[in-house]
Amino acid sequence: MRYAFSPEQQAFGESATDLFARHCSPGAQRLSWMDDSGRDPSLWRGVVDLGAPAILVSEEYDGIAGTECDLLPVLEEAGRQAVPDALLESVFVGPFAIVACGSEDQRRRWLPAIASGESRVTIALSDGGLAPDAHVSDLIVLARDGQLRVHQAGEVALERVHVEDPSRRLFQVSPRTEGELLPSSGDLRDQVVARELVGSAAVLNGIASHLVSATVAYAKERQQFGRLIGSFQSVKHLLADAFSKVELATTAARAATWRVAAADPEGLASARLARICAVEAEFVANKVALQVHGGIGFTFEHDLQLWLKRGKALEQSHGGRHRVARTAGLDAVACAQRAPQNEEDD
Amino acid sequence: MDLMFSDDLVAFRAEVRAWLESNRPKGRFQPYYTEDGLAQHLEWEARLFAAGYSAPGWPKEFGGLGLDHWHQLIYDEEYARLNLPERVNKMGLLHGGPTVMAHGTPDQQEAWLPSILNNSDIWCQGFSEPDAGSDLAGLRTTGRIEGDQLVLNGQKTWTSFGVIATKMFALVRTDREAPKHRGISFVILDLDTEGVEVRPLRQLHGHAGFAEVFLTEAAVPLANVVGPHNEGWRIAQTSLKLERGMGRGTHTRMLHTVDEIARRLGADPDTGSLERLGSHRAWAFAYEQATYELTDIMSRGRDEGALPSVLKLRLSEILTGIREEERNILGERAEQIPAGPPEVPLPPTQREYWHARAGEIYAGTTEIQKNIISETALGLPREPRS
């Protein structure tokens, strides 16, 4: 057993850290809020140079043939630095949908271009769902009647849906053609959903981790009543509580990702559990971060809002908070019925 | 990352499971603080001892099986899975014994360890006092050197297994002039020493295994001090760390508890209950995985940092949440118990509920864990220590 990332995975994560720091600083993001695109092409080129979109693509299609776990450090870091690009969709869920559900012909046509970064992909997994970064994507995967269809950028009309987080770019996509059905997407939909759940959990855990560490840093410099506010138990305990939840949620997401990647029969159920922990931990971190920052954190000038708003968006995105919890509850009932019952129980 | 149990561990699990299933006691035991109950528990302990399962994690030189952290975890999971009896000598087997192994002299190890392992001595922990709970280092029980003896005066309380114990490992103040953490010694005493009085202390859920222990001019050999004189605080960290570290199957019991409340939900549960159940199941999964992660870290000999405190904090809050949900499901029936005298132990549902609440207090309260986490993991300013 080994819970830690491998040295290669760690190095991959560190490269992503450097890349994001160069391109997605809060200052750079603020500049991008003004323009419609809001995307820095050089960031995407950097992501491609890292090999991220090629990780889940097999060597046969010019990919790297890595695993879902390899992408975790990048997704966590994307959250930690509030990367505006929809990397979850473009390097993880989107490519996976085509890898898993595409026909041989479709894979041959699309995967090499995805792996090389020539084609950028996005995906919306619920019917009528909004597709992030559709305006910079070449392939847009949409759900209809429980199946997935791939649309070329030129065959859709995009309408931007404005959202609280000025860095996010969400679009209502109206296809002008039928698109191409991914033939196995009806049968394998759960596998795609499982990746969305663990991947979005990883991003949320990164966001929450930053919210806690940025707030700890602030509590170590802000003074009131002649003392650092981080010396008050009321503040220390809020932070310890949030930290402990984020720690467990991070471990849960890593473990669930490993199960999903290993085709464990419990993979999808574990992915839901990991997603719930990530949402609930981020919820607490979000609350604590603003509370401890106080008034300064509520100003438009303060960068905390990048993580506060992104966090609130991702709590509800990718299937909604309550639906996932309810399905996990049904899983738990089914699991309890299968579990052996001790005779001593009353 | 590789989260697969090795073939070796899978085989060990099968071996332990087979043994426990064929040797497990039939029916439920009486509480250990009754005469019949103690006999039942000790008979079970004797059977475990004979099979080498009394303390399988102890090194072979001290009579254990020398199991590593992962094998111990498997053993604990299988023990918890079958809901087997509470280990009445766990303070000796899991805390006192390992402390003596780490800090005791060869003579002390030879004198004490075999009788812990075969349960001819039951150990209890004498740390807390009426005025030294969270502020443990504020303890006031004194030890005065007279010749080759240490004469003890004071009171210990919240002593788990105190009513059946024969020996206690205690912290006593041996230098009143020294700073709070530096004038304490770690000493082992026989509870039949003259001047020691054990009074049972019933808990609010009716359990009566607790005790308070009064020490009046109780003289113990100076040779019973473990580790250097006045360095008991440091010695005690071994035991405190063990207490909040390894879960000892708590993750297995937690998942089992989620199953229990899921079964109580009935055929057509409402949406709110399902959502809350989903959340409880999620945190139980996270706690299980974090327990594995801690085991991984310990088995690689790496520094576990504040993870034991993180686990203890989350454990108690997750468990309380699950048990609160059980009460929600039971509704007005949650309070109902069979007829009987008021102090009689509560039936399992209520007992487990209140036991979960106790978990937020014992082995370092929620607030103490939060202090530890915020100071060690987050580097926030420390609380005043004296």
In a domain, B96, yes or no: no
Residues B227 and B249 in one domain: no
Check: CB of residue A80 under 8 Å from CB of residue A71: no
Q: Is B322 found in the same domain as B202?
A: no
Mean per-residue pLDDT, B300-326:
95
Question: What pLDDT is recorded for position B27?
Answer: 87
Spatial separation of the C-alpha atoms in residues A235 and A232, rounded to whole Å: 5
Looking at the partner chain, which of A1, A212, A335 has a beta carbon nearest the beta carbon of B3? A1
- B314 located within any domain: yes
Same domain, yes or no: B197 and B252 = no
- Confidence (pLDDT) at A346: 39
Would you say A161 and A172 are in contact if contact means Cβ atoms under 8 Å apart? yes
User: Catalytic residue positions of B?
Assistant: 243
Average pLDDT taken over every residue of chain B: 94
Whether residues A273 and B285 touch (CB distance < 8 A) is answered with yes
Of all residues in chain B, the one with the smallest CA distance to A219 is: B380
What average pLDDT does range B253-274 have in this prediction? 93
Average pLDDT value over all residues in chain A:
96
In a domain, B270, yes or no: yes
CATH, residue B363: 1.20.140.10
Contact B331, B286 (CB under 8 A): no
Structural domain that includes position B303? 245-377
**A47: Cβ contacts below 8 Å, ≥ 6 apart:** A16, A19, A53, A85, A87, A90, A91, A117
Q: What is the pLDDT of residues B165-218, one digit of tens each?
A: 999 999 999 999 999 899 999 999 999 999 999 999 999 999 988 999 999 999
pLDDT at residue A267 in the model: 97
Contacts of B5 in chain A (CB under 8 A): 1
Q: Mean pLDDT across the stretch A49-69?
A: 97
Domains of chain B: total: 3
Same domain, B219 and B142: yes
Query: How many whole angstroms separate alpha carbon A333 and alpha carbon B210?
Result: 37
A226 to chain B, minimum CA–CA distance in Å?
14
A-B Cβ pairs (cutoff 8 Å, strict): 198
Rounded alpha-carbon distances, angstroms, from residue A112 to A62, A285, B8: 5, 40, 41
A243 vs B310: CB contact, 8 Å cut-off? yes
How confident is the model at residue B384, as a pLDDT?
80
Whether the pLDDT of residue B246 is over 80: the answer is: no
Question: So what's the pLDDT on residue A345?
Answer: 45
Task: Provide, as residue numbers in chain B, all residues whose Cβ is less than 8 Å from the Cβ of A219.
Answer: 380
Say what percent of chain A tops pLDDT 70: 99
Per-residue confidence band for B68, with pLDDT thresholds at 50, 70 and 90: very high
For the record, the structure tokens of A264 come out as 């464990």
What domains are defined for chain A?
Answer: 7-181 (1.10.540.10), 189-338 (1.20.140.10)
For residues B157 and B202, membership in a common domain is answered with: yes
Please give the residue of chain A at the shortest CA–CA distance from B378: A216
Q: Which of A4, A252, A326 sits opposite B275 (nearest CB)?
A: A326
Q: Is B131 exposed, middle or buried (0-12, 13-18, 19+ CB in 10 A)?
A: exposed
State which residue of chain A sits closest to B293, comparing Cα positions. A3
Considering the domain architecture, whether residues B250 and B363 belong to the same structural domain is answered as yes
Q: Does residue B269 share a domain with residue B354?
A: yes
B382 located within any domain: no
- pLDDT bracket for residue B243 (50, 70, 90): low
d(CA A46, CA A77) in angstroms, rounded, equals 14
Residue B286 lies in a domain: yes
Q: Which of A276, A292, A331 to mutate to test the interface with B (most CBs of B within 10 A)?
A: A276
Structural domain contains residue B237: no
What ipTM did this prediction achieve? 0.97
Q: Which of B197, B231, B265 is the last residue of a domain?
A: B231
Separation of alpha carbons A117 and A85, rounded Å = 14
pLDDT bin (cut points 50, 70, 90) of residue A123 is very high
Which 8-state DSSP code applies to residue A302?
S
Contact A337 B263 (CB under 8 A): yes
Q: For A247-266, what is each residue's pLDDT tens digit?
A: 999 999 999 999 999 999 99
C-alpha span between A110 and B105 (Å, rounded): 70
Q: What is the pLDDT at residue B209?
A: 86
Instruction: Tell which wins on pLDDT, B127 or B244.
Output: B127
A276-299 mean pLDDT: 98
**Given this model, what pLDDT does residue B260 score?**
94
Q: How confident is the model at residue B271 (pLDDT cuts 50, 70, 90)?
A: very high
Portion 196-255 of A in contact with B at CB < 8 A = 212, 216, 219-220, 228, 230-231, 233, 235-237, 239-241, 243-245, 247-249, 251-252, 254-255
Residue B2 lies in a domain: no
Collect all residues of chain A within an 8 Å Cβ-Cβ radius of residue B276.
325, 329
Q: Indicate the SS3 state at residue A92.
A: helix
Query: Which residue of chain B is at minimal alpha-carbon distance from A71?
Result: B1
How far apart CA B254 and CA B257 sit, in angstroms, is 5
User: How many separate helices (H) and strands (E) can be counted in chain A?
Assistant: 12, 9
Q: Residue B245 above 60 pLDDT? A: no
Domain match, B211 and B286 both: no
Give the pLDDT mean for A69-78: 97
What integer pLDDT is reported at residue B153 of this predicted model?
A: 98
Mean pLDDT of all residues in A125-137: 94
Q: Mark yes or no for CB contact B370/A237 under 8 Å.
A: yes
pLDDT over 70, % of chain B: 98
Whether residues B310 and B370 share a domain: the answer is: yes
Give the model confidence (pLDDT) of A2-12 as tens digits.
Answer: 999 999 999 99
Contact of A249 with A281, CB cutoff 8 Å = yes
Residue A344 pLDDT > 80, yes or no? no
Neighbours of B332 (CB within 10 A): 6
Per-residue confidence (pLDDT) for residue A321, from 0 to 100: 84
Considering only the beta carbons, identify the residue of A245, A322, A333 that sits closest to B275: A322
Q: Which residues in B lie closer than 8 A to residue A326 (C-beta atoms)?
A: 271, 274-275, 278
- Cβ of A329 within 8 Å of Cβ of B277? The answer is yes
Q: What's the CATH number where B179 sits?
A: 2.40.110.10
Predicted local confidence at residue A32, as pLDDT? 94
Confidence band of A64 (pLDDT split at 50, 70, 90): very high
> Given an 8 Å threshold on Cβ–Cβ distance, is A272 in contact with B278?
yes
Within-domain flag for B211: yes
Q: Which residue has the higher pLDDT, A345 or B369?
A: B369
